[in-house]
Structure 1
Amino acid sequence: MHLDAVTTALAATKAPHRDGFESFVRAHGDAALRREGGPEHLTASCFVFSPDLGSVMLCLHGKGRFWVQFGGHLEPGDRSLADAARREAREESGIADLDLLDTSIADLDRHDLHGGFACAAHWDVGFVAVVDPARRTTVSDESDDVRWFTLDALPDGLAPGLPARLAAVVATVAQPD
């Protein structure tokens, strides 16, 4: 993944906190794209919704012990942030042909990490996919469970700030510019 592609993708988004993400990437260069590049780096994630946007598929994160969207570190074979998000969602949901709604960034979130994490913080770049809830899923080695939840009945133990992020992403998808 080329640094210019990342800064171009970030510049194209209207998501809040865009300027902070751009500044972080410009200040850290290629290291911002790699897990081994330092204690803080970019990650890519995917919010997987039902076609009516009324339900979301979440995974119970193995290390964090919280429910969260699919996502993780960027890998050398990823051509873009969107490719990384798609790959992570496919790996963690078991849906091999899962695809993104589009390649637009839907969410930006910087979060500190604690406990079993080697990283200090993730600068997460989120995308959206829409999948039929009847699709068969598989739990990956990184998760303890994968399930659908309606947005009005989310489980206890969510990642901090996830309900507000979900609402903002749904609003963006339902009312594109």
Structure 2
Amino acid sequence: MSLHEDAVLVLKAYEGRDEQQRALREVYLEHLAEHPDAMYKPCGAGHVTGSALVIDPEGGRVLLTLHKKLGLWLQMGGHCEPGDATLAGAAMREAVEESGIASGLTLLEGGPVRLDRHPIPAPCNWHLDVQYAALAPAGAVAEISEESLDLRWFAYEEVAAVADTSVVELLEATRARLGA
């Protein structure tokens, strides 16, 4: 199965928490149907990306990266690569690379937590981000990567003060799924 086919299956199975998320799922599926290259950065009409919010439920905190190009505190994530077999695998690869947590991260069961479509500068138009959550093991030690300006754990209640609405909504959706 190709990464494109995997993404279609993942999105078809994604139920979304509300009507906005379900409508966005349809936008993603239409985009994938229209663009065979939609999984990769060269797709100028927009491309699917995978991200993961690294969360420590026991500690009540999340790990955010200060994005080098955007200067924003964000979840770990980025572009799919030719070696990625699945969308979940791409999100997990990005989480490991950007968090520096070499072992023990596990994706939260149940597939993606939410979807976020946001504009990006030319030559591309959109990131169609499929957002997962990655559970960090107790005592996980993060290590900054070359893709970040900084990397820091934030208590749940601190996130709204440092991150944009998308990250806050991702944290809320993750906590709802965890029952936390």
Instruction: Please classify the TM superposition score into its range, dividing by the shorter chain length.
Output: 0.7 to 0.9
Aligned to 1:150: 155
Aligned to 1:93: 99
Q: Provide the rounded CA distance (Å) in 1 between the counterparts of 2:171 and 2:3.
A: 29
Identity, in percent, stands at 35
Aligned to 2:116: 109
Confirm or deny: 8 A CA contact 2:116 2:128 kept in the other structure: yes
SS in structure 1 at match of 2:176 = helix
Aligned to 2:29: 22
Q: Which sections of structure 2, spanning at least 5 residues, go unmatched?
A: none
Q: TM-score, normalised by structure 1?
A: 0.88
Stretch of structure 1 that moved more, 159-168 or 90-99:
159-168
SS in structure 2 at match of 1:154 = helix
What letter is aligned with 2:156? L
Correspondent of 1:76 among 82, 97, 118: 82
Q: Provide the rounded CA distance (Å) in 2 between the counterparts of 1:160 and 1:133.
A: 27
SS in structure 2 at match of 1:44 = strand
Aligned to 2:58: 52
Confirm or deny: 8 A CA contact 2:44 2:123 kept in the other structure: no
- The count of corresponding residues between Structure 1 and Structure 2 is 172
Confirm or deny: 8 A CA contact 1:53 1:170 kept in the other structure: no
Q: TM-score, normalised by structure 2?
A: 0.86
Runs of 4+ in 1 over 3 A off after TM superposition: none
Confirm or deny: 8 A CA contact 2:78 2:94 kept in the other structure: yes
Q: Provide the rounded CA distance (Å) in 1 between the counterparts of 2:43 and 2:51.
A: 19
Q: Which sections of structure 1, spanning at least 5 residues, go unmatched?
A: none
Q: CA RMSD, aligned part only?
A: 2.0
Q: Provide the rounded CA distance (Å) in 2 between the counterparts of 1:167 and 1:155.
A: 10
Q: Provide the rounded CA distance (Å) in 1 between the counterparts of 2:143 and 2:162.
A: 21
SS in structure 1 at match of 2:93 = helix
Q: Is 1:62 matched up with 2:68?
A: yes
Residues 71-117 of structure 1: CA deviation (Å, up to 9, x unaligned): 00000110000000010000001111223123611111001124xx7
Instruction: Give the CA deviation at 1:172.
Output: 2.5
